[in-house]
Amino acid sequence: MRFLATCLLLSASVCVAAADAPRVAHVRPVDTRAFDAAFDDAMARYRLPGLAVGVVVDGQVVYARTAGERAAGSGEAIDRATLFKIASNSKAMTGALLARLVDQGKLSWTDPVVKHLPDFRMFDDWVTREMQVRDLLIHNSGLGAGAGDLMLWPEPNLFERRDVIHGLRYLKPAYSFRSRYAYDNTLYIVAGEVAAAAGGAPYDALVRREVFAPLGLSRCQVGAWRRDDVGNVAQPHRLDGERQVVVREDGEEVPDVPMMAAGGIRCSLDDMLAWAAMWLQPERVGVDAEGRPWLSAAQRGEVWKTHMPMPLSQRMRAWDGSHFSAYGYGWRLADVDGTWKVSHTGTLSGMYSALVLLPEKHVGIVFLTNGNADEARTVLTQVLTKRFTDPGNDRNTVAYYAGLLAADRAGGSPVSGNVSADKAPPRRLATADDPQLRAGHYLDPWFGEASICVDAGVVRFRAGKSPKLTGTVYRAGDRLLVAWDDADVDVDAVLTFAAPDRGPPTLAMAKLDPDADFSYDYEDLAFVRTGDCTAR
């Protein structure tokens, strides 16, 4: 009756709570009509294939709404149990798993990584010796942003976790160790293997045992699983003209990909709301039979501590009045309108997620979509967050923030290789006798083999362990570039060959658009020619 009375106080369209959710003394009435308006506007404005949004207040779910389809044209509606890729929101689960193992006395945050993984190596020996477990989580390694990501995606590829970890020794640092923040994924893979070594079980088994089971995240999936046995799985999409099309559709067997600990977990809206509720109500959610919280207060504090300063963007200053930005163990920390915010986003091609926690206000916000929706995520989470941090602001609408982003875009021009798109030189097929081209087989120490050879009269680039990095070589002005066959690999690469006085020819690569996603880390590749095309 108390729950019913609370629902009657709400003027919104949705008021839901899990049947076994802990009861709290009081749940603030929340007018969710503005949530519906923002949801509808974002769904229509950005033509999303599917969307799931939820809000937790005072330990209770006060809003949960879904729309769209798991796969465009399928007729299969998204609901609160639909699985989405949460991408880099997996990092907080990896950090929390390590915190659980610290609570259990199986490792320490200051343990050297080599204590648990003796074969671990970084480019510099002193960094190898000094790298601690905590350093794996806070993006302070000295590697450039996204270093080694080409071993993780585009998927599927043939790299394994051991390849990723072994490859770290060849990735040259861009900065001094612990000197600055630069986001990476590869060291979270190392963190997952540290957890496996300390916990005595594979990473996926540990996550099920230590995270999913005690918190009741019954739909979340990690490791390998069968799509049809689990069911109700959203597929990623991209916008093709005016319609959404499925990309990288799951097969029947969903593999245990190397990036699992960095961004491979999938969860439903209900799962993510339960995950949020645990962080906001640790004394009520996730406690064991003896009344002990899922994480100790000491480890909760450690996970949300300011471990690494992050740049404070002009947008954060202008939109939120933010004064600080930092990284914890799998979480971003900042202030919004004088309120502490703990959050993270997740980004994969065709899948975007966000989790925003306002601990001082006991509020959690979940955003999940199966489309390429960077701006939709930014705008909608901003509107929902501001409903709690700046509730009297009449400008807090999807249209207002979309307009600000449009104005930002209008201030610049689309670029491709530092040249306006409408002034880019025309492309023509490269030829085998191009004076800049050095056809042959090449080897990079961390990425492996690649070939640039003529196939049916066309010069083609092929990566040995990453089949989606296959494309045609073109000449554009004074440059050679490769355009990938797969439309989802949307960042072309510039090819630069060199013929040193001594030694074999070399090949360097770079993003044609220098502002493209850092995960296309072509600049870290250092190919050396190993043989002629006709030799194999």
Q: Are 474 and 195 within 8 A, CB to CB?
A: no
Residue that has been written with the tokens 């007018």 in this structure:
31
Find the mean pLDDT for residues 134-156: 96
- Sign of torsion, CA 416 420 422 428? negative
Where does the pLDDT of residue 412 fall: very low under 50, low under 70, confident under 90, or very high at 90 and above? low
Residue 26 pLDDT: 55
pLDDT at 24 over 60: no
Strand 325-327, strand 332-336: pairing: antiparallel
- The b/e string for 83-107 (b: 16+ C-beta within 10 A; e otherwise) is bbbbbbbbbbbbbbbbbbbbbeebb
Q: Could you report the per-residue pLDDT of 154-163, keeping only the tens digit for each?
A: 988 999 999 9
φ, ψ at 90 (rounded to 5°) = -65, -25
Helices (H), 257-362: 269-280, 297-303, 314-320
Domain boundaries, the chain: 2-410, 421-535
Check if CATH label 1.20.1530 holds for domain 421-535: no
The structure tokens listed for 478 are 């004074």
pLDDT at 251 over 80: yes
Q: 522: Cβ–Cβ under 8 A, 6 or more apart, which residues?
A: 150, 493, 509, 510, 511
- CA atoms of 483 and 463, how far apart (whole Å): 13
- CA atoms of 387 and 242, how far apart (whole Å): 32
Question: What letter does residue 82 receive in the DSSP assignment?
Answer: -
pLDDT at 418 over 90: no
The structure tokens listed for 55 are 């809000």
- Sign of torsion, CA 283 287 291 296? negative
Task: State what percent of residues in the chain have pLDDT above 70.
Answer: 92
Q: Could you report the per-residue pLDDT of 164-215, keeping only the tens digit for each?
A: 999 999 999 999 999 999 999 999 999 999 999 999 999 999 999 999 999 9
Residue 422 pLDDT: 54
Task: State what percent of residues in the chain have pLDDT above 90.
Answer: 85
Averaged confidence pLDDT in the chain: 92
Q: What is the largest CA-CA distance in the chain?
A: 84
Where does the pLDDT of residue 3 fall: very low under 50, low under 70, confident under 90, or very high at 90 and above? very low
Q: Are 300 and 359 within 8 A, CB to CB?
A: no
Residue 19 pLDDT: 33
Q: Are 516 and 417 within 8 A, CB to CB?
A: no
pLDDT at 395 over 60: yes
Residue 282 pLDDT: 93
- CA atoms of 131 and 112, how far apart (whole Å): 6
pLDDT at 81 over 70: yes
Q: Could you report the per-residue pLDDT of 305-335, keeping only the tens digit for each?
A: 999 999 999 999 999 999 999 999 999 999 9
Q: Could you report the per-residue pLDDT of 499-509, keeping only the tens digit for each?
A: 888 889 999 99
- CA atoms of 230 and 203, how far apart (whole Å): 20
Residue 424 pLDDT: 75
φ, ψ at 391 (rounded to 5°) = -65, -20
- CA atoms of 429 and 409, how far apart (whole Å): 32
Residue 29 pLDDT: 78
Residue 501 pLDDT: 84
User: E strands of 373-499, at which residues?
Assistant: 427-429, 440-444, 448-455, 458-463, 470-476, 479-484, 493-498
Residue that has been written with the tokens 């905590």 in this structure:
134
Helix (H, G, I), strand (E, B) or coil at 455: strand
Find the mean pLDDT for residues 248-274: 97
pLDDT at 23 over 60: no
Q: Are 356 and 365 within 8 A, CB to CB?
A: yes
Domain 2-410: give its CATH code.
3.40.710.10
Find the mean pLDDT for residues 297-312: 97
pTM: 0.91
Residue 35 pLDDT: 97
φ, ψ at 279 (rounded to 5°) = -70, -30
- Sign of torsion, CA 294 328 267 157? negative
Q: From the centroid of its chain, how far is CA 424? A: 31
Does this chain's domain 2-410 share its CATH topology with 421-535?
Answer: no
Residue 423 pLDDT: 64
pLDDT at 134 over 70: yes
φ, ψ at 57 (rounded to 5°) = -135, 130
Span of 14-18, 172-176, 231-235 with lowest mean pLDDT:
14-18
pLDDT at 413 over 70: no
Q: Are 232 and 134 within 8 A, CB to CB?
A: no
Name the nearest CA neighbour of 284 among 21, 15, 54, 97. Answer: 21
